[in-house]
Amino acid sequence: MIYEQDVFARLAIFPKFIDPATQVFDLAFLLRFSPVDQSGGVAMSVGSRLDLKTDALVHAFGCRSAANADREFEIRKGTPPDPETEANRYLGFYDFEWGAAASAPVIHHHVAIRFKKEHGEMAHFQIEMHPRSTEKLSKKQQRNDRIAVRTSLAMGLYGPSLHICEQDEALRPALEAIAADLPVCAKGREDSLIG
Quote the least distance from Cβ 62 to another protein, whole Å: 18
CB atoms within 10 A of CB 172: 11
Handedness of CA 94, 67, 87, 43 (dihedral sign): negative
Quote the least distance from Cβ 130 to another protein, whole Å: 16
Q: Which residues bind another protein (CB under 8 A)?
A: 15, 17-21, 23-26, 28-29, 32-34, 85-86, 103-105, 139-140, 142-144, 146-148, 150-152, 155, 173-174, 176-177, 183
CA angle, corner 49, sides to 146 and 172, nearest 5? 80
Report the alpha-carbon distance of residue 54 to residue 52 in Å, rounded.
Answer: 6
Report the alpha-carbon distance of residue 77 to residue 62 in Å, rounded.
Answer: 22
**Based on CB atoms, which residue is closest to another protein, 25 or 57?**
25
**Based on CB atoms, which residue is closest to another protein, 180 or 194?**
180
**Based on CB atoms, which residue is closest to another protein, 88 or 161?**
88
DSSP run (H or E) holding 153: helix 139-155
Quote the least distance from Cβ 57 to another protein, whole Å: 27
Quote the least distance from Cβ 195 to another protein, whole Å: 25
CB atoms within 10 A of CB 181: 14
**Based on CB atoms, which residue is closest to another protein, 52 or 179?**
179
